[in-house]
Amino acid sequence: MIMNRITRVIFLFFFLNRFVNAQVYFGVSLGSVLLGGNMYLNFFLTSLVEIPGNAFAIYAMNRLVCGQLTENLFKQVKTFLCLQGFKHVLSTNHVDHKI
């Protein structure tokens, strides 16, 4: 695998860190509907937490990885608009049943 001991320890640390974060994220996201109260409100509030997290991730990537902030924001806005349009197309019935 990785020959250098220090690099191997760092790799394993980051691998385990990412694995645990993913498990906690999906556990909270999927388990939010099991909380007491309204299922949809709980899921909405859990999803609302992602907005500052995504904003911080964009900022951190821009500062630490030297990415371009405007390009990342443009891609996220474009993806959001495409998904909204896709949702609208699926919600309307365009099938003509007359033959």
The per-residue DSSP string of 30-56 comes to HHGGGSSS-HHHHHHHHHHTHHHHHHH
End-to-end Cα separation, the chain, in angstroms: 63
- Which pTM value belongs to this model? 0.43
State pLDDT tens for residues 33-78: 777 888 788 878 877 877 887 788 777 777 766 556 666 677 777 8
Sign of CA dihedral 36, 38, 40, 42: negative
